[in-house]
Amino acid sequence: MTGPLDDVVVRPLTPADLPALERMEVDLFGAAAWSPESLAAEIEGPGRWYVGVVVGGELVGYAGLWFDGFDAQVMTIGTDERFQGRGLGRRMLDALLDRARTVGAAVVLLEVRVDNDPAIHLYESVGFERLGMRRAYYQPGNIDAWTMRLDLRGREETA
């Protein structure tokens, strides 16, 4: 699919979204997918803020942030394969970053597979920088991860 999408809504996730979430999680992350129990705990967990993107009434993506009182962490982001490459990942990431600013996070951190070019491109395009590498971070497969960081404080404040 290509071209702009009409009728796109980004909204908070609720437990009613779990069946769709479970399907997408397995489709997108395969053997590394979070369990239904983990997803259910995650979307309502302390400090968590999860959004979904709805196109034409169908949930086709989701993303989550964790704020610990100081820093924020992008927990996950995924777009249904049928809808990838059409700006939905960017819409959801923008929503997470707006939320991080609103709650006063100093920085936003994340991990991403070193071979995940679409995600790395998306993160770098909004200003994330590679901090370092975590060896064998993702299982199964012992896949390395980049740790990435976006500083939300103004340059003058960090000097």
Please say which residue, 105 or 148, places its beta carbon nearer to ligand COA.
148
Q: How far is the CB of 143 from ligand COA (least distance, A)?
A: 11
| Bridge partners for 53 per DSSP | 10, 61
Please say which residue, 139 or 158, places its beta carbon nearer to ligand COA.
139
**What distance in Å separates the CA atoms of residue 78 and residue 84, rounded to the nearest whole number?**
9
Please say which residue, 56 or 85, places its beta carbon nearer to ligand COA.
85
Q: Which residue is nearest to ligand COA (CB)?
A: 89
Please say which residue, 9 or 104, places its beta carbon nearer to ligand COA.
9
Q: How far is the CB of 12 from ligand COA (least distance, A)?
A: 18
Structure tokens at 86: 């059409």
Q: How far is the CB of 105 from ligand COA (least distance, A)?
A: 18
Q: How far is the CB of 8 from ligand COA (least distance, A)?
A: 11
Q: Is the dihedral of CA 143, 130, 97, 107 positive or negative?
A: positive
DSSP code at position 105: -
Residues that bind ligand COA (CB under 6 A): 28, 77-79, 84-90, 112, 116-119, 121-122, 125
Please say which residue, 36 or 87, places its beta carbon nearer to ligand COA.
87
Q: How far is the CB of 156 from ligand COA (least distance, A)?
A: 29
Judge residue 121's burial from the number of C-beta atoms within 10 Å of its C-beta, 0-12 exposed, 13-18 middle, 19 or more buried. Answer: exposed
Q: Cite the beta strand spans of the chain per DSSP E.
A: 8-12, 48-55, 58-67, 72-79, 107-113, 129-138, 143-151
**What distance in Å separates the CA atoms of residue 99 and residue 11, rounded to the nearest whole number?**
12
